[in-house]
Structure 1
Amino acid sequence: MHRPAGRRGDPMEQAQLPDCYRHPGKETGVRCTRCERPICSACMVDAAVGFQCPECVRGGSGTGHSPTANQPRTIAGGRITAGHPHLVTHVLIGANLLVFLFGLLNPLFLDETMLIGLAFDPDLGRVVGVADGEWYRLVTSMFLHQEIWHIAGNMLLLWLLGGTLEAELGRARYVALYLLSGLAGSAFTYLIAAENQPSLGASGALYGLLGATVVLVRRLNQDLRPIMALVVLNLVITFAREGIAWEAHIGGLIAGVIIAYAMVNGPRERRALLQGSACALVLGLTLVTVVLRTVALS
């Protein structure tokens, strides 16, 4: 996923590929990850993510931009950081595992932090839920798991998808995608599920990563079939098995697609505005959903 590939298809599709900006008449499906100009194999310079054109590698001489503005960037405009390329993904996996172990040692911890609309908890001896003012449950539930198979499956999916998305989007955008998708999944569950139905798990955030991966693969002109097969498989499991909070999956998936589309598409000069607007839109809809549901349950 780090290396953009040209489109595969009939000759008519091939004819629509752009020409290399340095070699007119030479078609290519690869673009510089910093300036996004089309570049042919003779102009490609290996970078941490994808390829860069010779001018960007030289620091932008002759482009009219400052050296700071031409620092290596991801396809989404994020800064390419040195060192551990999958640091955030490993931190997220570690956080989920630590919370899982803490929950095994402290059973009441799950009752105090899982997502629930409004209900009387006999273990805690009181009314609990988001509608009772415990809004933190929308976030804490994203890191909770009860069964070993549950956390094992979710962390495997995070490992498979997270590293590539982190490298392609940049750490800050990747964290925003993960957290906002998880929150959207929690909010949609809070809205649709029965008020006394508890739910927990990182699935909302992970379905956001699934949706984002579909958008990214399409943006890089790569084969969509493997990731679409994975999406379909997960959706089949979601609706075929009982006891799965499908609301979190769908909410996270929709949020991930919206955020990722804004992050990897649009004109470069307006990219930051588009990305910020998409994140604000998802967060705003999430908050409105939570407030409306809370009012309805009050």
Structure 2
Amino acid sequence: MSLDPALSGRDAPPDDGPFAAYLAGQLTAQKGFSPGVVVPELEAVRDACDYLLIRADGLQFSALCIVDCEADATRTFGLSMEQTRAAIDACRGYAGRMGFSRMPVHLHVIEVRDRAVDADTRQRLSAYKRRTLFSKSTVNAWALDTGHAGVWSNAPAPMRWGLGRWFKGLLSRPRQAASADADGRRLPAVKPGWPWLSFVIAALLVAVYGLQIVFAVAPGGRILGFDTQTLFALGGLNPAAVFDNGEWYRLATAVVLHGGLLHLLFNLIALLLAGFSAERLMGSAWFAATFALGGAAGAALSLYLGPPRMVAVGASGAIMALLAAGLICSFRLVDNAERLQIQMRLMFMLIPSLIPGATHHDIGGATDYAAHFGGALAGAAIGVLLRGLWRRHAATPPGQPLAALVAGAALLVLAGSAIAVADNYPRYAEVVQYIPAEAIPNQWSDISAAQARDLVAAYPDDPRGHYTLGRRLLIDGRYVEAERAFRDALAAYRAHADDFLDAFEPEMRVFIALSLALQGQAVEARREAAPLCAQFDNGDIHQALAATDLCKPADQL
């Protein structure tokens, strides 16, 4: 379906005169409507209006029927609801598609009067409404009271708040010449140019992913995805490591890591989509600062809400900030098809990413919605700030040098964090093999000393192997060797304490004390047991110490 752009002199709004004419002129100038588009399907509507305005850009289709009731108090919109709905239903072919869905078409009936809207008028106009919530053709009614600057509508609340406030402003303020940018705060289009910084950030993320492949901990080194140990060793966000070990650098490094190839590709698509809109709106400096601040906010909220043992990675929080900030800054544009397309693209990525279950792009783990929300909140705050500070007629928001300074500081923090990752990598990347559960004996008498030594040789980093050997040697009466085995078990435990229960260490120290006592080294045994005597005054450890009199003072023996 195509539209005839021929002009009709009857529909061209004059610069002054009745408020209906003034309204038509302002809608034409500021909202992108045209008084001269011929729509055959709306001829009956045109005959019932003083001004029929059309906005059709290949994507959206909206019609405004303005009826001037100021001069004639008895005049009303003359078509029935059924005739009006049939007319707008016939126009659905003029709307474009967004993805697989055709955009809805809208018809607004606006009666302009110089008196208050009475109950009869509200009841009559209330009939002009959409069939259902999901109808693809909608009809709404408005009544504008020029005498009291009043606005009534049966439109949905968001539309009453947006378009209704705009109508209220026209009714309340002195008339001004029709202009697409009456207050100098609208941009006709996004700044031309290539979003070079978006591609630089994308290249950085790809390069880091390459380093993940190179430094993956065996056997987790795969192109499609990485194991938890690899992500942790390379700086993944982990609450226990941050709070217990003071490894705050993980808030920066986790933002540039990704759990798998699909995770990376999804974020690259979202990043470049944001770049073609947000970077050209905000400027490269604010784009970089928003990426950094959004990444930090997402990591902070994830750190606060996440379980202690989680390992979170990804630039999603930073990208959510770009999408949210870009969406808010897009309202700086003149209300036209380009603005709508930008907003639809940004919302297409932003909204599903904030709904649990709507996205499944992580490899081997759950989506970190805390990071998504943290980044989106930070981006929304930045967008609101920039919209408030944006100077008239300026192509980009103010404070570009400050934003560049923030981005530069973030880059230095990332570089310092990368150094910290390199320092800790050898320790965290160590591959440790532990004894399978089925290989651990139920009874110490079920295994010989030789078999226990084979277990230690096969799994030297597992403290349980050394512990098993010590228990077997105690049974065999080889107390010196048993003491050495228990000390080896204690050393192995301290090297890998995160993988075992805290009770393992005091139990090893009890057996060291027992081994010393059985060797006849009473003084050394009591010295070893002394901290445990003070720490455990009941339970199994206390009973073991009491049975051997290791907690009794020497003068009571």
After TM superposition, the score normalised by the length of structure 1 is: 0.62
- Residue matched to 1:190: 303
CA distance in 1, matches of 2:280, 2:210: 29
**C-alpha displacement at 1:162, in angstroms?**
1.5
Residue ranges of structure 2 left out of the alignment (5+ in a row): 1-29, 34-61, 65-109, 111-143, 145-162, 171-175, 218-229, 407-557
Query: Using a 3 Å threshold, how does the CA distance of structure 1 residues 38 and 210 change in structure 2: closer, same or farther?
Result: closer
**C-alpha displacement at 1:264, in angstroms?**
2.3
- Residue matched to 1:49: 191
**C-alpha displacement at 1:7, in angstroms?**
6.3
Correspondence 1:29-44 to 2 at 5 A: 29=181, 36=184
Residue aligned with 1:49, SS? coil
Query: Using a 3 Å threshold, how does the CA distance of structure 1 residues 239 and 161 change in structure 2: closer, same or farther?
Result: same
Identity of aligned residues (%): 22
Query: Using a 3 Å threshold, how does the CA distance of structure 1 residues 93 and 181 change in structure 2: closer, same or farther?
Result: same
CA distance in 2, matches of 1:272, 1:25: 28
Residue identity in the other structure for 2:216: P
Per-residue deviation, residues 125-166 of structure 1 (Å, max 9, x unmatched): xxx435412111101110001211100000000011113211
Residue identity in the other structure for 1:179: A
Matched, 1:101 2:253: no
One of 238, 243, 246 as aligned partner of 1:116: 238
Matched, 1:235 2:235: no
Matched, 1:264 2:387: yes
One of 221, 245, 265 as aligned partner of 2:368: 245
Residue identity in the other structure for 1:256: G
**C-alpha displacement at 1:233, in angstroms?**
2.2
- Residue matched to 1:219: 332
Matched, 1:91 2:196: no
Residue aligned with 2:277, SS? helix
**C-alpha displacement at 1:232, in angstroms?**
2.5
Correspondence 1:7-46 to 2 at 5 A: 13=163, 25-29=177-181, 36=184
CA distance in 2, matches of 1:135, 1:38: 42
Any conservation in 1 of the 2:191–2:281 contact (CA below 8 Å)?
yes
User: Which is further off, 237-246 or 155-164?
Assistant: 237-246
Any conservation in 1 of the 2:329–2:386 contact (CA below 8 Å)?
no
CA RMSD across the alignment: 3.7
Residue identity in the other structure for 1:228: M
Query: Using a 3 Å threshold, how does the CA distance of structure 1 residues 98 and 240 change in structure 2: closer, same or farther?
Result: closer
CA distance in 2, matches of 1:199, 1:98: 19
Query: Using a 3 Å threshold, how does the CA distance of structure 1 residues 206 and 7 change in structure 2: closer, same or farther?
Result: farther
Query: Using a 3 Å threshold, how does the CA distance of structure 1 residues 17 and 132 change in structure 2: closer, same or farther?
Result: same
Any conservation in 2 of the 1:7–1:29 contact (CA below 8 Å)?
no
Per-residue deviation, residues 180-231 of structure 1 (Å, max 9, x unmatched): 0000000000100012111000000011112112202233243345543433
Residue aligned with 2:296, SS? helix
**C-alpha displacement at 1:15, in angstroms?**
5.8
- Residue matched to 1:199: 312
CA distance in 2, matches of 1:231, 1:93: 18
Residue identity in the other structure for 1:116: N
Residue aligned with 2:354, SS? helix
CA distance in 2, matches of 1:27, 1:17: 15
Query: Using a 3 Å threshold, how does the CA distance of structure 1 residues 102 and 192 change in structure 2: closer, same or farther?
Result: same
CA distance in 1, matches of 2:269, 2:390: 34
Any conservation in 2 of the 1:6–1:30 contact (CA below 8 Å)?
no
- Residue matched to 1:292: none
CA distance in 1, matches of 2:167, 2:181: 11
Per-residue deviation, residues 219-271 of structure 1 (Å, max 9, x unmatched): 324334554343322223556656111110000000000011111224639x7
CA distance in 1, matches of 2:273, 2:260: 20
Query: Using a 3 Å threshold, how does the CA distance of structure 1 residues 100 and 226 change in structure 2: closer, same or farther?
Result: closer
**C-alpha displacement at 1:29, in angstroms?**
4.5
When the two structures are aligned, how many residues end up with a matched partner? 218
Large movers: runs of 4+ above 6 Å? none
Query: Using a 3 Å threshold, how does the CA distance of structure 1 residues 158 and 267 change in structure 2: closer, same or farther?
Result: closer
- Residue matched to 1:164: 277
Max radius of gyration: which structure? 2
Residue ranges of structure 1 left out of the alignment (5+ in a row): 19-23, 51-83, 119-127, 281-298
CA distance in 2, matches of 1:7, 1:177: 31
